[in-house]
Amino acid sequence: MELNERKKRILYAVVANHIQTAEPVGSRTVARAYRIGLSSATIRNEMADLEEMGYLEQPHTSAGRIPSQKGYRYYVDNLMGDGQLTEEEELSISRSLGLEKMREIEQIIANAVKVLSSVTNQTSLIMGPQFQKSTFQQMRILPLDDRRGLVVLITDSGFIKNKVIELDQSLSPAELHQVVTYLNQKLYGLTIDQVTTSLINELKRDLFRRLEILEQAFILLEESLREERQARVFLGGTTHILTQPEFKSVQKVHQMLSLFEQEALLFEILEQDLAKDDIVVRIGTENKYEDIQECTLITAAYKIDRRILGSVGVIGPTRMDYQWVIAVLRRLVDQLNQTLSSNR
């Protein structure tokens, strides 16, 4: 499986050139442009070898070679170096993310995806922080008028959920306050996931004994928790994918865009590598979902104080400037982590 130095250089040349031009790369091109010091004939032989070994493929007999999925994988793992951003790119990332102050977390996230897509010129996606994984901090009920109240629920990672509810008429303010205090006490520090229906029922029974009126208060709690089992996914630069030559058929575009409309699917896609603590590159069929098996997905997790909150990524054709996109993503995540953490 190991390639000798010469094969490596040739493979590198083919991949690099193909990434740039989107065209099959011929032996002449490699010979001339990458000063390997060999004639095209020799390179032709090597390329034939590389094809046999599965790193390259030929669209048709008399065309040049293009990298296979395995070829890209080898390139990503062994050949490419670390990408370097231009000063301009650096700036546009830090400027647009660094200056955010005290904004809602969702806004920061939504902005991040815009920055990412506009810098990379690729479609980007980001998974919002998972409500379920954040921990309960406190809950309040604000009486609005005599019939209705506003429930406010706050979690540690900056989520604020609110919901207007009908208040049980027979519940006195003092009693209401008592219920709320009780709940805060019991729930503090639990993750939302841990606030299961059975826990709620238990609390309900417990309270019932002391206070006999609070159906509504519990319904609200359950409701606001049940909602959003799944985090939001933000998309940016959806149309960038249309500028790629590999998406010049309307049919493919359609397939791709339909996928983008299915938030639940995007969520699953982003969620799978959430635990990994580095950049994850999924090339072609390394993706589980058929619809993106002609694409590459590059993702990274973002964190707040070392705790992983969600995942952000770029999706595009397998022919992608891996080196550079990875550098951008890395930079963006750093900045994002910093911004989020300093906001607490």
Partner DNA sequence: AATTAGCACTCGATGTCTTGGAGTGCTAAG
Partner DNA sequence: CTTAGCACTCCAAGACATCGAGTGCTAATT
Residue 57 or residue 228: which is nearer to a copy of itself going by CB? 228
| Residue 57 identity | E
Window 27-66: contact mask with a copy of itself (x via CB under 8 A): ----------------------------------------
Q: Does 29 bind DNA (CB under 7 A)?
A: yes
Site for DNA in 9-28 (CB under 7 A): 23-28
The structure tokens listed for 148 are: 């209705």
Residue 232 or residue 282: which is nearer to a copy of itself going by CB? 232
Site for DNA in 251-290 (CB under 7 A): none
The structure tokens listed for 206 are: 């417990």
| In the complex, minimum distance from the CB of residue 104 to a copy of itself, in angstroms, rounded to a whole number | 8
Structural contact between residues 301 and 274, judged by C-beta atoms closer than 8 angstroms: yes
Q: Does 341 bind a copy of itself (CB under 8 A)?
A: no
Site for DNA in 135-174 (CB under 7 A): none
Closest CA to 237 of 123, 338, 130, 332: 123
Closest CA to 281 of 57, 78, 77: 77
Residue 174 or residue 250: which is nearer to a copy of itself going by CB? 250
CB atoms < 10 A from the CB of 272, how many? 17
Phi, psi for residue 338 in degrees, rounded to 5: -65, -50
Q: Does 250 bind a copy of itself (CB under 8 A)?
A: yes
Residue 58 or residue 137: which is nearer to a copy of itself going by CB? 137
Phi, psi for residue 169 in degrees, rounded to 5: -60, -35
Burial 286-317 (b: 16+ CB within 10 A, else e): ebeeebbebbbbbbbbbbbeeebbbbbbbbbb
**Matching residue, tokens 């159906």:** 215
Closest CA to 177 of 185, 187, 188: 185
Choose among a copy of itself, DNA, none what residue 58 binds, the Cβ cut-off being 5 to 8 Å by kind. DNA
**Cα distance between residue 11 and residue 3, in whole Å:** 10
| In the complex, minimum distance from the CB of residue 62 to DNA, in angstroms, rounded to a whole number | 3
Residue 259 or residue 280: which is nearer to a copy of itself going by CB? 259
Q: Which of 163, 186, 204, 330 binds a copy of itself (CB under 8 A)?
A: 163
DSSP H or E run through 66: strand 66-67
Q: Which stretch binds DNA (CB under 7 A): 51-59, 124-132, 138-146, 152-160?
A: 51-59
Helix, strand, coil share (%) of the chain residues, nearest 5? 55, 20, 30
Residue 25 or residue 214: which is nearer to DNA going by CB? 25
Window 182-221: contact mask with DNA (x via CB under 7 A): ----------------------------------------
DSSP H or E run through 234: strand 233-236
Choose among DNA, a copy of itself, none what residue 313 binds, the Cβ cut-off being 5 to 8 Å by kind. none
Please give the size of the binding site for DNA, defined by CB under 7 A.
Answer: 26
Phi, psi for residue 240 in degrees, rounded to 5: -55, -35
Q: Which of 7, 34, 40, 154 binds DNA (CB under 7 A)?
A: 40
Q: Which stretch binds DNA (CB under 7 A): 40-48, 135-143, 168-176, 332-340?
A: 40-48
Cα pseudo-dihedral 19, 25, 30, 33, rounded to 10: -60
**Residues interacting with a copy of itself, by CB under 8 A?**
102, 104, 138, 140, 142, 144, 150, 152, 154, 158, 160, 162-166, 237-239, 242-243, 247-250, 253-254, 257-258, 261
